[in-house]
Structure 1
Amino acid sequence: MSAHRFDLARIGEGLPVAGAVPELTDAAAEGAVVVLAPPGTGKTTVVPPLVANLVAGRTLVTQPRRVAVRAAARRVASLDGSELGGPVGFTVRGQRAVGRETRLEMLTPGVLLRRLLADATLDGVDAVVLDEIHERSLDSDLLLGMLAEVRQLREDLLVVAMSATLDADAVAGLLQARTVAVPSVLHPLEVEHRPGPARLDARGVTRGFLDHLADVTAEAHARHGADALVFVPGAREVDELVRRLRARTPGTEVLPLHGRLPAAQQDRATAGRGPGDGPRIVVTTALAESSLTVPGVRLVVDAGLSREVRRDRGRDMAGLVTVSASRESIVQRAGRAARQGPGTAVRAFSPTDEARMPARSLPEIATADLTDAALLLSAWGTPGGRGLALWDAPPPEAIAQAMTALREMALTGDDDRPTALGRRVATMPVGVREARALLEGARELGDPRAAAEVVAAVSDDHRAEGADLEGLLRDLRSGRAPGTQRWRRETDRLTRIAGERSTADAAGGGAGTVLALARPERLARRVAEGSRSYLLASGTRAALPEGSTLIGRPWIAVWEVQRAEGRAADGTGAVIRLAAPVTAEEAEHLAGGLLQRRRSVRIDAQGRVVAREESSLGAIVLASTPVPATAADRAPAIAAKLREDGLDVLTWSDAARSLRARLALLHRELGDPWPAVDEATLLARLDDWLGPDLAARPRLEAVDVTTALRRLLPWAEAARLDALVPERLALPGGRSARIDYADGRPVVAVKLQDLMGAQVAPRVVDGRVPVLFHLLSPARRPLAVTDDLASFWAGPYQQVRKEMRGRYPKHAWPEDPHAPR
């Protein structure tokens, strides 16, 4: 390894972070540092070479996006006076410029994650710098936890986490790190609001708003005569706004900047304008918000929108949606205008819109499909993240769904450890579902390139007419579809990853085969002849777009499905955006663990137990045949009936209702071990209290509910039941009255004369709960309601006595009701 040292004075000249070099050097000696530095202060330029100078081995630096990786590497190499691939190199998906002399390697978090799986000790690496971790990407969050573990094995490994805005205490705690804050040097910033028409509708960003944004940008650019950076949510909006601006600003260079552009176009936008060039406009997504600096910008125009992952857990759908950006984001975007001099930020929305924006965006781990993360965690030896210290734990339901998906794809076993296929997939530079489809698709089709073409098409943001993937592939192969060159490059890369052609195990099939291997739970069957609605194996219903060439296909494999309403969704709540046909035989062959055979039992309208043998592909019933019911079918049939229709299908006697109400009061007042008897709990514990009756009784009507409920009584305390919540209350005259617990408290309805002589209202549950009396006239009409007899006798009784003794002269209305009768 070369002893190349970076000239920090030259590299950091004029950058605020250069003033913190002595403090950063001192902190690095402790093994871990958290650097807080706003965008534009130079942390990405200065800190990596500083760290590289402090260690003997290679320093790895992560940037959240490929364009940011290349831009950062290019800038540091330029300031160092060296060529890319020399002391400074980079690695991103599909592109690598690293040599033997490389001391500083920029890379994406995904690349580093897979290196860790291949070599958990990072042999030859002495430092890792995680930049822009405030963006809370899923890969960066996982890296943070894994590197914290690696540091326990390698005390010599220096780890630096850098961010523009960050919960420093949380990250410092994970890494056991010292925090260094670099102050921002901002020039004056003027903020303007230029609201226009509605920004969003059901289909995304409105055309009217894009027109407004183009007008605002053109006017502001002409007025300020400065390089402008315009923020929109996604690549499609970038391209549409660039087209509008070129029409409105002839002679001005208008450049797009987003992740799907070829590297040369990205580099053109991030390199800054050349000598003699006029002010230009760069239209970008959020990638220029903090992880990437576009030189020379003095004007920022912000749509106030962001593209974020959202998950519909009920329909098992996840995808990017356009939402309002966070207030934290728009502050960072605006700051881009005031890094090199006074600047202006134009916000194309109102102050009211701004006030309604969330303070900050949710971390990706809270909203994303966690299938990729789940396999990485399993391969790391911490299935589901158990035992790994993470910034935020994955949501339990989402990680459980992801782990189930891995088992269904045969990527993990029943112990949640990776299978041989899972171990290979985990290290591949492509998503888990895509990698599995690529490898298994190449085997099924006997042609790695055919599988690679499908995976390349679905991995990018191509749009298929009528959701027809096979039609999209034809257009891509012929060059008619936008993005053909990008698709071909990705197909070549994936073909190399998949390996050589092999037809030995080929089973045939087409694009649908590859999709089904990636998402077997999205195999779907048409719900009815002539319908465009389909039932997915996951249980979700979705509709093909009107006019789709796939309509009429009995089976399809679905890749993309989006939530939708109205006619487009055909009443299903979702629309299929990308799919390919499969045959019924292919669906069953590709379904894997989703293909099941089971016996179902139920109680029919006449109360009889009926049974069927069913075969299903997930939620899709393939065949259902009636078979004779057996004695063993009775219990599951009755249990299923109760869970479907509720406990009211049982015959509840007055004694049973009373016992349930008494137990409910005990559980509320005393808690365990007195059992909860609400509907949900009783249904969940059917075997505990109804178990013997389910098997022994021929019909529901024959079940003795009172006896069954008594099975829930705690054995040691059962003898105290009648003492704690008695069924009857002794009255002063020697009679007794029934206590009604139905309303959640003890109630006794009794003639007023029967309580004369009682000093105070009695209490139940060891004196915790007073009895509520409904006091009645001799004709059993209501007179008063009270749970405080002493107060009643002392006050309201005298008015009742006055009114009642004339109406009922034969009954006693003593002036002193305390005296025994």
Structure 2
Amino acid sequence: MPVRSAALDALPVRGAVPALLSALDGHGTAVLCAPPGTGKTTLVPLVLAGLVGDGPPRRVVVAEPRRIAARAAARRMAWLLGEEAGGSVGFTVRGERVAGTGTRVEVVTTGVLLQRLQRDQELAGVDAVVLDECHERHLDADTAAAFLLDVREALRPGLRLVAASATTDAEGWSRLLGGAPVVRAEGVSYPVETVWAPPARPVRPPHGMRVDPAQLAHVAAVVRRALAEREGDVLCFLPGVGEIARVAGLLGGAGAEVLQVHGRAPAAVQDAVLAPRAGGGRRVVLATSVAESSLTVPGVRVVVDSGLAREPRTDHARGLGALTTVRASRAAARQRAGRAGREAPGTVYRCWSEAEHGLLPAFPAPEIRLADLAGFALHAACWGDPDATGLALLDPPPAGALAAARAVLASVGAVDGAGRATPRGARMARLGLHPRLARALVDGPAAAGAAGPGAVRRVAEVVALLSEEPPREYGDDLVAAWRRAAAGGDAYAARWRAEAGRLAALAATEPSGAAGGTGSASGTSGPRGTGGGRGAERGQGGDDRFAGVVVGLAFPERVARRQGPGRFLMASGTRAVLADGSRLASAGDWLAVAVADRSAGSADARLRLAAPLDEDTALAAAEHLLASAQEVHWEDGDVVARAVERLGAITLAERPLTAPDPALLRAALLRGLEEEGPAGLLRWSKEAGALRERLAFLHRTLGGDWPDVSDAALTARAEDWLEPELSRARRRADLARIDAGQALARLLPWASGEAARLDELAPERIEVPSGSRIRVDYSGEQPVLAVKLQELFGLAETPRVGGAGGVPVLVHLLSPAGRPAAVTADLASFWGSGYRAVRAELRGRYPKHPWPEDPATAEPTRHTSARLRR
């Protein structure tokens, strides 16, 4: 077929091609900004490869974020050249390659590009790379860009690099590419009318992967409204496969063919949606964000936007990267609306209000800020930059997420102590799986005690189950789910078989294969009971062993031991329970947990998918969590000392320690002092308590060398004042025998000589005019002297403590019966005015005691008036 020159000439990006070529000739890199529909994805690679125009022949790699976009772009370019895909233009996506020796333009996913860069850092034979749709900020794309810049700087300065997008941070990418020129192309856009169509009643916001069914019912109603009000096909954006299936079910009888487009859809279905419509009738295309960019769906004049999207997060239930449902950004909404105006004027129905629109985030967050970074960290380690500090990234990885990712890599043996990739880590990176699953695929056959292609295949089948979690209706028994997938004919089973075959072939062809994993791994074996009858009975090395080994290798911290009926403790420390009626209730004492989640407010997690395993396998899978140690700590009010063997948080064995490590023992005792305070553990006599109060007063008023005797300070200085008793203590009872007063005296400022002034500065007792020595109470903010009023006759000035010009005591003047009669810190003032009121009130009540009119000249006494006369 001839080249379709008319179609090529009609692409609006053609006007920007000379400027792009000039930028690449002068700088080697460029940023291309071109609106949707201009041909940036199709014409530019053909020009760079010399397949269109008069340029020299080159080999060009185009990186797309999604498989559907990669296949569609390659087929579109081949059609423009009058060819079939696989000739001058081909593509490679996970599990599918359509390209040959004569291919000059190859469209790949960014994941495939990363794998190639790890195998061949020079990208031998490649003259130019186009990173398409870089505005989406996928982690693989950002990583590939960083690696390509390294390649240009260190190995191949002549490698041309183009960052292309419809809407992007052009200046940011320009800076990242070393000041690359920005080339802009003008597009032909048709007007798109916006119709705001919020739900009539409030709907619950999305949570995790859950979307309110009322929201989906509303979206389906808006699709029906759009079919009634507008002409042309309808493209409806939904967040995921489950939501697409639900809305499809609600559109029965809508008078249009309903098609479903997402990354899991068969290639034939995806191709049919992107092909021109044959015959009459209208179509409703339900799509995920794969249809936001790079693709033109022919015939679409109406877009219905649910306003929802999926963003990456770390799935803590599985320890893998996952997606969560969020409100779409304003930038995504613009991209989606633009799909309605690709071929003619169109309409977008937005399932939210105009007021809500202004509250949406401006752009989607870069994936590197949100995603599980284990795969990124492994790529960086294999690249030779474990900390990723030398990589040219628009956004650096969050330190906490990167540290967590590196911990995962260390636990599966992918990196060494310095964070550098080990040989097995390099092999795991080449598998294109999450490092946890790569570890299981690499080590599974040997750990299961099996060899040969059959063992490799069985391990690959279990890994495929973990790569895409089976539907909930498959149940929580992983072995049962395995059998159901192998025997099933649903869409999940078809995807599972294809992925298992791909992984088996990949594992078998990798060098240093796992446990005899050589030779062909083609064909489907399935678990025991699905055809062939291989393996031993359950629990004796058959399916259970393979499933348990693989899950344990992938998630060693979720190996779990039974704690009671239906209750398990994982090595991570999380407690989990089985659902009522679970087939795993009788599985044995150990489980390898693949999925467990915990709802808000729940103390325990719920086991969603697990496989039985024996103790030896559990210990082997989580070997790095095995630890034997002396545990000496303060527990339930006393020292507990024992030798413990643990698998993470699971106690395997323990025995009492008769001679614990002195350092650990001391730390436990100090912890007890910290928790309960010295007052709760030591022996405090009345005198010891009084000494502490006197020292606290001097520290508060004089400071200097006088020590802080608060609980926190005494605990911090325990070794200064509790030795040698602390060294001899072994338990709470030993602490209770320590005389706190004697120990506290060690803190007195002996070195400065101030200790000798203790009784002068903070006397324990004060002699009053009657001759009595009255104890001073230092427990409050101000020292208190509680004394009978008659004993102070003749004392004009209030007694002071704390040295010269010190603190006046607070005098509690007592009645003859010892009850408070008055409180004063100024005796002279009291005698002058307050005394008369007290005398008038009490003299009739206590007539036997002296109540002179002039207390200043009266004789102080502890006795009654009669005794005074004698």
TM range (shorter): 0.7 to 0.9
Aligned-pair CA distance for 1:286: 0.9
Q: What amino acid is aligned across from residue 645 of structure 2 in structure 1?
A: S
Separation in 2 of the partners of 1:541 and 1:660?
52
Question: What is the CA–CA distance in structure 2 between the aligned matches of 1:89 and 1:692, rounded to whole Å?
Answer: 82
3-state SS, counterpart of residue 173 of structure 1? helix
Scaled by the length of structure 1, the TM-score of the pair is 0.77
Residue 549, structure 1, aligned to residue 545, structure 2: no
SS in 2 for 1:309: strand
Q: Does 1:558 align with 2:563?
A: no
Tell me the residue number matched to 1:466: 475
Q: 2:460 aligns with which of 435, 448, 452?
A: 452
For the aligned residue pairs, the C-alpha RMSD in angstroms reads 4.7
> For residue 556 of structure 2, what is the aligned residue in structure 1?
520
**Residue matched to 1:249:** 254
- The equivalent of 1:479 in structure 2 is 488
Q: Does 2:391 align with 1:360?
A: no
SS state at 2:30 partner: strand
Residue of structure 1 in register with 2:771 after alignment? none
| 1:230–1:634 Cα change, 3 Å | same
2: CA distance, partners of 1:118 / 1:704:
71
Pair 318,748 (structure 1): closer, same or farther in 2 beyond 3 Å: farther
Q: Deviations over 1:751-777 (max 9, x none)?
A: xx99xxxxxxxxxxxxxxxxxx99999
Q: Partner of 1:208: helix, strand, or coil?
A: helix
Rounded to whole Å, the distance in 2 between the matches of 1:27 and 1:703 is 85
Q: 1:637 to 1:14 in 2, by over 3 A?
A: same
Check conservation: 1:229, 1:299, Cα contact below 8 A. Answer: yes
Map Cα deviations across residues 459-488 of structure 1 (whole Å, 9 max, x no partner). 224214332221111111212554222222
What is the alpha-carbon distance in structure 2 between the residues aligned to residue 547 and residue 434 of structure 1? Answer: 29
Matching residue of 1:24? 20
Taking the aligned partners of 1:438 and 1:475, their CA distance within structure 2 comes to: 21
Task: Tell me which residue corresponds to 2:39.
Answer: 42
CA distance in 2, matches of 1:640, 1:8: 82
2:169 — aligned with what? 167
Alpha-carbon separation, structure 1, partners of 2:32 and 2:197: 35
Q: Could you say what secondary structure the match of 1:462 adopts?
A: coil
Query: Shift of the alpha carbon at 1:39?
Result: 3.0
User: For 1:585, what is the secondary structure of its paired residue?
Assistant: helix
1:278 to 263, 281, 293: 281
Is the Cα–Cα contact under 8 Å of residues 40 and 336 in structure 1 kept in the other structure?
no
Separation in 1 of the partners of 2:422 and 2:76? 42
Q: Secondary structure at the match of 2:41?
A: helix
Rounded Cα–Cα distance in structure 1 between residues aligned with 2:45 and 2:165: 13
CA contact under 8 A between 1:12 and 1:46: conserved in structure 2? no
More displaced 10-residue stretch of structure 1: 479-488 or 415-424: 479-488
Q: CA deviation at 1:807?
A: 6.2
> Equivalences for 1:125-140 in 2 at 5 Å?
125-140=126-141
1:368-395 per-residue CA deviation (whole Å, 9 max, x = no partner) reads 2221111111111111313323222222
Partner residue in 1 for 2:101 = 100
List alignment gaps of at least 5 residues for structure 2.
Answer: 518-534, 536-540, 705-709, 753-760, 763-777, 785-796, 799-806, 814-819, 837-853, 856-870
Q: Is the 8 A contact 1:472 1:481 kept in 2?
A: no
Matches within 5 A, 1:50-449: 50-53=47-50, 56-153=57-154, 154-178=156-180, 179-196=182-199, 198=203, 200=205, 204-245=210-251, 247-250=252-255, 252-274=256-278, 276-311=279-314, 319-443=322-446, 444=448, 445-446=450-451, 447-449=455-457
Q: 1:300 Cα shift? A: 0.5
How far is 1:288 from its partner? 0.9
> Residues 535 and 644 (structure 1 numbering): CA distance in 2 closer, same or farther, change over 3 Å?
farther
Does the C-alpha gap of structure 1 residues 642 and 127 become closer, same or farther in structure 2, counting only changes over 3 Å? Answer: farther
SS at 2:378 equivalent: helix
How many percent identity over aligned positions? Answer: 41
CA distance in 2, matches of 1:334, 1:379: 41
Matched position secondary structure for 1:597: strand
| Partner Cα distance (1:285, 1:475) in 2 | 28
Aligned-pair CA distance for 1:560? 2.3
Structure 1 residues 775, 156: closer, same or farther in 2, change over 3 A? farther
Could you tell which deviates more after superposition, 424-433 or 258-267? 424-433
Q: SS at the partner of 1:21?
A: helix
Shift of 1:19: 2.3
Gap change, CA 1:325 and 1:692, over 3 Å in 2: farther
CA deviation after TM superposition for structure 1 residue 94, in Å: 0.7
Deviation at 1:450, TM superposition (A): 0.8
The answer on whether the counterparts of 1:475 and 1:481 sit within 8 Å (CA) in structure 2 is no
Q: Name the amino acid aligned to 2:145.
A: L
Which stretch of the first structure deviates more once superposed, 59-68 or 775-784? 775-784
- The Cα of 1:432 is off from its aligned counterpart by 2.2
Matching of residues 685-696 of structure 1 within 5 Å = none
Q: Is the 8 A contact 1:656 1:705 kept in 2?
A: no
1:13-62 per-position Cα deviation (integer Å, ceiling 9, x unaligned): 143x2222222222223111122233333321233223333675421111
| One of 577, 592, 597 as aligned partner of 2:623 | 592
Whole-angstrom distance in 2 between the partners of 1:384 and 1:66? 30
Q: Distance in 1 between matches of 2:121 and 2:90?
A: 22
From 637, 654, 661, the equivalent of 1:624 is 654
Q: What SS does the aligned partner of 1:517 have?
A: helix
Report the Cα distance in structure 2 between the residues aligned to 1:211 and 1:329, rounded to whole angstroms: 22
Whether 2:506 is the aligned partner of 1:497: answer yes
Question: How many Å separate the matches in 2 of 1:164 and 1:803?
Answer: 89
Amino acid at match of 2:99: V
Tell me the equivalent position of 1:798.
Answer: none
Q: Distance in 2 between matches of 1:214 and 1:31?
A: 49
CA distance change for structure 1 residues 224 and 575 in 2, over 3 Å: closer, same or farther?
A: same
CA distance in 1, matches of 2:313, 2:741: 46
What SS is found at the alignment partner of 1:336? helix
Q: CA deviation at 1:193?
A: 2.0
Q: 1:696 to 1:125 in 2, by over 3 A?
A: farther
User: Match of 2:272, as an amino acid?
Assistant: R
CA distance in 1, matches of 2:651, 2:9: 66
Shift of 1:524: 1.7
Q: Which structure has the greater CA radius of gyration?
A: 2
Find the aligned partners of 2:405 and 2:381 in 1 and give their Cα distance: 11
Separation (CA, whole Å) in 2 of partners of 1:438 and 1:411:
13
Distance change >3 Å, CA 319–CA 14, structure 1 → 2: closer
Deviations 1:425-450 (A, max 9, x none): 11123332222212211332431111
From the superposition, tell whether residues 646 and 416 of structure 1 become closer, same or farther in structure 2 (CA, over 3 Å): farther
Distance 2:718 2:584 in 1: 46
For 1:536 and 1:83, how far apart are their aligned partners in 2?
A: 54
Q: How far apart in 1 are the matches of 2:295 and 2:698?
A: 65
Offset at 1:210?
2.3
In the alignment, the residues of structure 1 paired with residue 347 and residue 720 of structure 2 have an alpha-carbon distance, to the nearest angstrom, of: 70
Distance 1:541 1:212 in 2: 39
> How far off is 1:345 after superposition?
0.7
Q: Which amino acid aligns with 2:649?
A: A
- In 2, Cα distance between equivalents of 1:777 and 1:19: 98
TM-score normalised by length of structure 2:
0.73
